[in-house]
Structures are given as structure tokens and as C-alpha cells.
A and B are shown apart, each in its own frame.
Chain A
């Protein structure tokens, strides 16, 4: 990521209320090995780890900022960019693949106007292709946040997107 990209992200980043991060840190500050729970807690609050929150964590936990970034980029669970309110995951594992998952994925791309691991500008959706969700009997499978949608069809993609378009962002 170049400086220009970093700057772009910073510009995209909405105003971050650090009191949320501070209260997460307060909770774990005296716990040995507190970096992971703090990072996870902060991500729960914001949906991702804002740069300013990472800097705050570095200062308050007395951990090098570089080290925090190393941890954040090592684990796939951490996100450095704002994520959508609704995370759509479509399985492209073997069972789903033979049941037509690639067409489901293409249809989501068309409907949402974003690609894999991207987020819509209104922060409503983040789309991800995943390897296996562990429910091959329901192939092809999609998930939106914690809701599961089995036996997906192209029509159901439209219905799901229409449904979630109506839901509130907050």
C-alpha cells in the first residue's frame, strides 16, 4: 500500500469516536497478553481497525505501532478498511462450485457493482468469496452476516439484495 493509498483510506475514514476504543482498552489494560482481545474488541466496535485506534492502542498498551500493524496484517480476521454493514459471503468450494456458485458470484458482482473483498461506497455491502462454509448439503450457499441462504439461484440473489437494500444502515 503506497502513501497515496493510505491517504485515500484516511480520507474515506469517517470521523472516529475514540471513546469506544478507550473503553475496550480500559477493560483489558491490566491483562497480560492483551493485544489480541483489545484488537478484536476494537474491531467489534468499529467493524474494522481505524488507524487512529491502532495508534491509540499502541500508545496506551505501550506496544510499537509497527508491531500492531504486523499483527493486524498477519491475521485474516482483522480489517483495516471500513467494512459494509452487511457482509455477503458466497461459497466457492467444491460442492457449491459444481452447483453453479460462479454464476451466483457473477450475479452478486452485477447487482452490487463491486468485486471480491470490496465494499460499496455507501458502506452497505462487503462481498467476499470464501472457500467453504461447512454446509455443502445446502449448496450453492450464501451468507449475509449470520443468516444463511441455501440452494441459491440467480433469482434469489436479486431477492436478497432487494431485501437488504430496504434494511436500515444503523
Chain B
């Protein structure tokens, strides 16, 4: 810490702070346009000029000047105020004064500073710019006439998003921000540039002319898409969520969001939301009262042979109630995420670590010195974790190794090493890395004493790098180098995504990876370990609440088979859409058709809901209270941001009423249920809504490492066929994002990514329709020719109701398909 004087006030600041940061820390506000606390200092706008006595009263930028011991700083002398006024005059020379029609009005740094410094007239005159406004994409409007060239958009796109869509073009007075060859913006549309723009140059088009900024109510909440657990601020007016508002102090991610979080909120107020319960009469679903619908459901639940599938988007409190409801119905058959998407935690980690959660957190990424990421899809499934990886690699020089069946954005990071292997060979590859660590005596000193070591040594004997490399399309050296780097790292962290589209990321993979982490003996060291990224906003919570079958009970697939065979008479589906998201559509459809009575609670009349006997209109996360548990077991409390839409009810209310109807005693409030959770769920002890606060709390994970030798070989390549791997698209999460206009604007339908070579051989171009056929079915998909796909491998995301992959994907990690034009 250093001591300095700012505006006659004695203050202290960290050695690494700039004058701007030191002032801010001590409650002194220095005006600035080009600064964001996530970005490196830039010094472009000259608004933050201050005087430092030791520098002979020269005016220097506070944002780029580091503090030194004994500095005496004045932040607003008459001279400085004069200089700032002139900076504003010069900026306003070219900046159009179109504030009445500018969406940024009220939230505009330039407008606010002009007001604060009373710049009511301009001593200079010049022409305004006449740049064409970029309306080429539906999400981000670029009006370079309003730009003040602070460079924040270009810097955030490089430093954090690592996409680099925007840059400074030309020089001198001609300088502007733009894309290559001055074309249209064509990027990830995460909107980071919009969030940091200090003026109205970059605007969210979905919010254009919807509301003045000051008329919005700002509601803090937790994002309802993936499991990262990002915090959101919703801009609400007239019970409508109109936008998301950037708050650079919010969450571990400091307000940084992805395309889904920022632009995917429209599902909340969608016209397609169900407003009333529906009951099947003959062939159609007709509106009914809640009483009638719930009585009917309660009657069925009482009559036994009940099973349940829930979406891990429900709050912890709701999942607990759903479990209670199932118990009252005499059923132990309940599951989520098709059963396999949580097996990495519930089976893999349970065996290897003695816990059903990851020992590491997202915060460890920045503290690590080597990241081993399984599949580049980690960026697509959890984009904000992807940003953390970008920052770790680019700013902190963290080494990055990727095991993947295709290239991806992570692979383009500086010095990233990608072991591009043939699909389905992840576990063999991980085992070969473990084998090398053993053979070259790189294991930690304590490894030998861990339970299961002897079995592991034996189990790994067949996985020599030489054998595995041939099978994976790599060289033995590549595997050995990875093993050496991993073993040598002080704080190696393994990251892997799991989810409906990743059946290969299962219990075996979790154990194989855990073996690696245990072998080097660095599990438990801050910054190292293993992080399993489960898919949905509360996937980890669903596991923590135990919403998966105990031994002997039916899992998701067995439940569906039970529906088909008649063993399950009533199926209660809360929020899941298995017809689109579970593998093998034929099997799912058959089950749902056969089952005697199907109850679906959902926001929308999904494909699954359309088959139901009773549909209960549920409400979104923005209309209810509860807690979500993120991938790293950060438990966060969220409150309603708007009133419930139509007659919709929260799943909490639905389950409570049903519990009462079944003769049980329903808890009075989510808080009461959370008190039960705190009392009963390991790691949640002593938590309550008050202690969770705005930042949430980590549920502790107590681990007991055990080696669990696994071996799983890839399905044999079928000659003349292509390997189809399924996965997530960056713009989507589950099937919910289909109701978010933003994601649908930029990625409206399913597609098949194919390598340039294969495309050239088949004479296929972008958007050509391809018929994909596998052993289990076939469908038509648009081709997307991509440099990231290896020859012989095709990729398709799973989110889409139209052209859904489960028509030809039966749940294998790798599906062998033929393509035809």
C-alpha cells in the first residue's frame, strides 16, 4: 500500500493502482469516458486529467498513471475544469446532438459529463460525421457518427471476448471504429461492446425506442440460461422485461454477459407464454381453471405408478417440493437431464471424489497456471466461463491445453495447444496421459497411498501413448508432452462441460479426469483441481437436491421405457422438452404417446406439452423467488422482477397446491424450504436468503479422492460414413433459448458443420440442404462449411425443434452418418 493525498485527503491505495483507481477506492470521482474496470488502461479520452504536485502541476491522465508514495494530487482545480470543458467541446464538435432520439439518453456518459461541466456552448465549429449506420444485424446498431473513439468496444472484444470484430480504422480525423473492409458486424453478438459504449454509438436494437432509460426499474437477478451463474440486471417497465442493463460491479464476471444473457430475455414476456391451464378433451387442449386442472392431476398422482422428469432450470426450492410430491405419490422414479447429463457428477465424481460436485470454482481459472479443457465446446456451453479462460490465457499467460474432436474459438488463443483427436476417444486419451504420468514417475508423492492406486496402474496398462495415439490420430509425443506439462504445472485445472448434447462426457470421463487430478496430488490447491460444467442454470442444484434416482429406481430412459411398456401410468414433466432435447425422438414420442396420463408444466406449449393431458402454465425465473446453484456450487438467491404473466404460477405454487391436495403439508414459502435445504443438504449449512445476499455463497465441497480405473473405447469407425458429434451452439442453451428473440435472430435453425475438404468433395456450399441419415433415422439440415471441422467429422447443435438432431441421434457420443445432397 502507498500513502498519497488526493484533494487534500490523506488516502492509501494498493501499489498497483492508478490514480483513477486510488481516487475511486477512496470515494473521489474522476470523470472518464474510456475506462472500464475490466479493461487495461488506455488513456484515450483525456477527461480524467489531474494535477500532480510532484509533476510540476502538469495535467496528466489519472487512468494511466500509477500511484507513487507521497503523491499529492488535485482532481478539480479551475485549470483542470477548464481543460475538461475543452475536451468535451472538442468531442461535441463532431458528436451529433440528437439526444432526444438517442436510446442512450439518460445513461450516456457524454451527456452526463456535458451536463455536469455545463458545456452549453461550443467555441469551435466543424462538420458532423456522415458515416453510414450499420443496421445489418438485428441485435447491435452501430452509429459511428456518435462515436467518441474511446476504444472500449474494440478493447473488450479483444481483451475479454477475444473475437476482435471491431478495431480502429484509418487515422487522424478520419479514424473510426469498424470491422474488416468496413463490412457489417458479424460476430458472436455477446453485446459486450454495447455494454461498455459510453455514448449511443452501439445500441441494443431490440431495446430501440422501447423506453427511456430513467423510466426503467432495475431488477437484479440471476441468469436463467446456463450454469455459469451470471448475475443480471433486468430493465423493467409496465411488467415487461425490456432489456438487460450493464452493471460492471455485478457478479464475479463484473457484468460481462453472453448473447443469451444479454439478448435472450424475450422469452419472459413472449406472446407464446401459456396464460391458462389446459386440459385435453378429445384431440384438443382446452383452457380450464387451475382448480379443475390441479384436482385432475392430484387424482392421477394418488392412483400410483407415477414418474417425473424435471428440468434443472427449476429453483432448488421447487426441486425439493417436486421430490416431496413424488414421495407423496409413492414414487421414487424421478430424474432430470435425460439421466446421463448429470452422471459425471452423480456417478463419476461420486465414486472418484466422494462428492457430487466439483472441488474447484470458476474463480480458480484466473489463479491457475495450466488449463486442460476437454472439448472447445466449453466456450459454447458456458460462454462467460470462456471469457474467463480468454482473460487467464491472454492476461496472465496461463497455459492452455485442449483435447477436442474439432477446433474452436479457444483453440485460437495465443499458444493454445489443441490435441485434435478422432471423435469419441477422450477417455483413452486421458488414460494415456495418466499412464505417461505413472510411467515417467511424474505422479505426486501421495498418489501411491490413495485408495485404488494398484487397480489404476493395472487398468491403465493397455493405454500406452503409442497405442492410444494411433487410435486417436495423434502422435505419442503430443500425449507425452501434455502429460509432462500437466504434471509439471503448479496449479493445473481441468475443465469439462456436460449436458444433454454431450453423452460422452459421462461418469467414466469424470473419473478418468479425476484420476489425473488425484495423480498429481494438486487437488485442493487453490487454482487447481477439476471443474465439471453442468449445463443448465440449476443443474448442480438439481444434483445437490438429489433429484435423480436412487439405486433401484428408474432413471430417465427407464422412465420413458416404462411409459411405453405401461409400467408408468402417469408422467409428470416439469419444464423438460424430451421430445426435442432427449436422444432418439422415436423412442421418446412412442413413450409419450403410450403413457396413460401426461402432465406438463412449462412456460410454453412445447412439443412435449402439446402431447399432454394436462398442461400447467408455469412462470419464468423473473417472476418467482428461489435459489440457483451454479456449476461451482455458488448458491444465489433471486427475487421476482415482474408480476406473473397471465394466470401462470411458479412451479413452487403448483407443487405446493398438489402436495396439499395429496394430503401433505406444504411449506409456506421458498424461504422455509431453503431453511430445510440448509439443514439437510451437505455444504449448504448455515445458509439463508439473508446470508446469500447479492453475491451468493459457495456450498462447501468435501472430497475424499479415490482412484477409479475406467476404460471405454470409442465406437468403431464405420467405413464410408462420417462421425457426427452433437453439441451446443454458442447462441443457445437447451431449448428455452428458442423463445428468446435475440438468439433466434442470429441462429434461427439447426445446421450441420462440415469440413472444407468434405464440402469440396461433395460439392456442398453453405446453406445447401443435406440429408443426414444414421441407423436411427434421418433429417434434412443446412450445411455450414467450417474451417474448424476435421475431415470426416460433422457437428450439429441440438437445441432446435425444427430439424432436431434427435431424429437421427440416439444418444451415442459419436453417431455414424451418411450425407446426401
Contacts and interface: CB of A to CB of B under 8 A. Distances in A.
Interface of A: 1-3, 6, 51, 54, 58-59, 62, 64-70, 73-74, 80
A140 B171 CA distance: 30
Given A6-B183, A69-B181, A62 B412 contact: yes
Nearest to A1: B182
Interface in B155-191: 158, 163-171, 178-184
Contact of B164 (A6, A54, A67, A80): A67
Contact of B181 (A51, A59, A74): A51
Which of B170, B180, B181 is the most central at the interface, judged by chain A CB atoms within 10 Å of its CB? B181
26 contacts: A1-B182, A2-B132, A3-B136, A3-B183, A6-B183, A54-B180, A54-B181, A62-B412, A62-B414, A64-B164, A64-B165, A65-B164, A65-B181, A66-B164, A66-B166, A66-B167, A66-B179, A68-B180, A69-B167, A69-B178, A69-B179, A70-B168, A73-B171, A74-B168, A74-B170, A80-B181
Nearest to A6: B181
The A contact surface, by secondary structure, is: helix
A2 B183 CA distance: 7
A73 to B, nearest CB: 5
A2 B414 CA distance: 33
A59 B180 CA distance: 13
A90 to B, nearest CB: 24
Max chain B CB contacts within 10 Å: which of A51, A66, A67, A74?
A66
A59 B787 contact: yes
A115 B171 CA distance: 23
A66 B165 contact: yes
Contacts of B158: 64, 67
Most buried by B among A51, A67, A70: A70
Contacts of B164: 64-67
Contacts, number: 56
Contacts of B181: 1, 6, 51, 54, 65, 69, 80
A147 B414 CA distance: 45
A69 B180 contact: yes
A60 to B, nearest CB: 11
A58 B154 CA distance: 17
B519 to A, nearest CB: 33
Interface in B477-529: none
Nearest to B170: A73
B69 to A, nearest CB: 36
B184 A69 contact: no
Interface of B: 132, 136, 154, 158, 163-171, 178-184, 412, 414, 787
A74 B169 CA distance: 7
A70 B169 contact: yes
A64 B183 contact: no
A54 B169 CA distance: 15
Contacts of B183: 3, 6
Contacts of A80: 181
Main secondary structure of the interface of B (DSSP, over half): loop
Nearest to B158: A64
Contacts of A1: 181-182
Nearest to A68: B180
Nearest to B787: A59
Contacts of B412: 62
A67 B165 CA distance: 8
A54 B412 CA distance: 17
B527 to A, nearest CB: 27
Contacts of A65: 164, 179-181
A66 to B, nearest CB: 4
Contacts of A70: 167-169
A54 B179 CA distance: 13
Contacts of A62: 412, 414
A107 B615 CA distance: 83
Contacts of B182: 1-2, 6, 69
Nearest to B162: A64
B79 to A, nearest CB: 34
B259 to A, nearest CB: 19
Contacts of B787: 59
A6 to B, nearest CB: 6
A41 B90 CA distance: 40
B760 to A, nearest CB: 15
Nearest to A63: B164
A69 B169 contact: yes
A78 B158 CA distance: 24
Nearest to B187: A66
B167 A67 contact: yes
Nearest to B171: A74
Contacts of B178: 66, 69
Contacts of A51: 181
Q: Which of B171, B178, B180, B787 has the most CB of A within 10 A?
A: B180
B603 to A, nearest CB: 39
Contacts of B171: 73-74
A54 B787 CA distance: 16
Contacts of B169: 69-70, 73
A84 B164 CA distance: 33
A67 B177 CA distance: 11
Given A54-B180, A69-B167, 6 more contacts: A1-B181, A54-B181, A64-B164, A64-B167, A65-B164, A65-B181
Nearest to A9: B181
Nearest to A62: B412
Contacts of A54: 180-181
A1 B180 CA distance: 11
B397 to A, nearest CB: 15
A80 B170 CA distance: 12
A80 B183 CA distance: 14
A62 B163 CA distance: 11
Nearest to A5: B182
Nearest to A51: B181
List the 7 closest A-B pairs by CB distance, nearest first.
Answer: A64-B164, A65-B180, A70-B167, A66-B167, A69-B180, A66-B180, A1-B182
A5 to B, nearest CB: 8
Contacts of A73: 169-171
A77 to B, nearest CB: 13
- Of residues A2, A62, A73, which shows the largest number of chain B Cβ atoms within 10 Å of its Cβ? A73
Which residue, B132, B158, B167, B414, has most C-beta atoms of chain A within 10 A? B167
Contacts of B154: 66
B474 to A, nearest CB: 21
B59 to A, nearest CB: 28
Contacts of A67: 158, 164, 167
A65 B187 CA distance: 12
Nearest to B163: A64
A96 to B, nearest CB: 25
A145 B803 CA distance: 59
A59 B756 CA distance: 14
A6 B179 CA distance: 13
B201 to A, nearest CB: 16
A6 B178 CA distance: 14
A64 B178 CA distance: 12
Contacts of A3: 136, 183-184
A64 B132 CA distance: 23
Nearest to A2: B132
A59 B168 CA distance: 20
Contacts of B163: 64
A62 B136 CA distance: 26
A54 B167 CA distance: 15
Contacts of B170: 73-74
A4 to B, nearest CB: 10
B393 to A, nearest CB: 13
A67 B182 CA distance: 12
B123 to A, nearest CB: 31
Nearest to A64: B164
A6 B184 CA distance: 11
B114 to A, nearest CB: 29
B144 to A, nearest CB: 13
B173 to A, nearest CB: 13
A70 B180 CA distance: 8
